[in-house]
């Protein structure tokens, strides 16, 4: 089994929806583009990724959302070194279709009170639903490691909540731990590095907005 040396998670750059939440009333979430600022953010991240990967090969998986594809293209990675696949299981949490801004703001307030993992948007998904599809993607990713020539680098271009849930699934974090963490900023990365003992270590933690509540299974 050729496990990669690193698995890099990247949140897309700033999108039209990040800059102006009224756009959800006019455009589908999956079709939103990067802003000019978002494109610059992605280009800056791309510089760091090119330095990190050097001339090593990369297996890239990209959310099907337009802003994720635009982020990946802005990285400027050498196409001769990158094998890229669109991966629907890495998409954003579904909130519904055409979205009323005031209704979404209200539902987000309900979610904050109820919990991001279990709260289900009226026409969309809960965090638990996203966790399940991320888990299904991980099973496919593990199988890809069986190839003896698997690239030393894996790159996932996705969304903030999905990044947190990927790490929750990988590191077996509790729901309480997940609920205490904040999303990364736009175009921000987290890297799982393969350590000498054969385990993966997160290069830096997610910021906390509160201390995890001490309930559930511990130890």
Catalytic residues: 12, 92
- Rounded to 5 degrees, what are φ and ψ at 64? -75, -5
User: Residues 2, 152, 204, 131: what is their CA dihedral angle, to the nearest 10 degrees?
Assistant: -60
**CA angle in degrees (0–180, nearest 5) for 134-140-143:** 140
Q: Terminal CA-to-CA distance of the chain, rounded, Å?
A: 30
Residue ranges of E strands in the chain? 6-11, 58-62, 82-86, 153-158, 189-194, 200-202
- Cα–Cα distance, 153 to 200 (Å, whole number): 13
Spatial neighbors of 201 by CB under 8 A, at least 6 apart, are 192, 193, 195
Task: Tell me the chain's radius of gyration from C-alpha atoms.
Answer: 17
- Cα–Cα distance, 218 to 62 (Å, whole number): 34
Residue ranges of E strands in 127-199? 153-158, 189-194
């Amino acid at each position: 089994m050729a496990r990669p040396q690193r698995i890099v998670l990247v949140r897309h750059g700033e999108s039209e929806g990040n800059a102006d939440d009224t756009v959800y009333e006019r455009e589908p979430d999956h079709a939103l583009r990067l802003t000019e600022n978002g494109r610059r953010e992605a280009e800056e991240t791309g510089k760091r990724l090119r330095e990190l990967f050097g001339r090593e090969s990369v297996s890239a998986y990209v959310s099907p959302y337009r802003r994720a594809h635009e982020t990946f293209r802005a990285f400027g990675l050498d196409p001769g070194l990158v094998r890229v696949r669109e991966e629907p299981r890495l998409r954003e949490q579904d909130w519904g279709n055409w979205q009323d801004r005031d209704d979404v703001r209200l539902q987000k307030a309900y979610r904050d009170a109820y919990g991001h993992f279990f709260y289900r948007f009226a026409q969309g998904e809960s965090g638990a639903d996203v966790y399940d599809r991320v888990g299904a993607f991980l099973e496919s990713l593990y199988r890809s490691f069986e190839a003896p020539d698997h690239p030393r680098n894996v790159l996932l271009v996705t969304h903030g909540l999905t990044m947190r849930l990927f790490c929750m699934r990988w590191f077996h974090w509790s729901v309480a731990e997940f609920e205490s963490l904040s999303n990364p900023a736009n175009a921000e990365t987290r890297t799982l590095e393969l350590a000498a003992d054969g385990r993966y270590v997160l290069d830096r933690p997610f910021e906390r907005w509160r201390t995890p509540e001490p309930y559930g299974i511990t130890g």
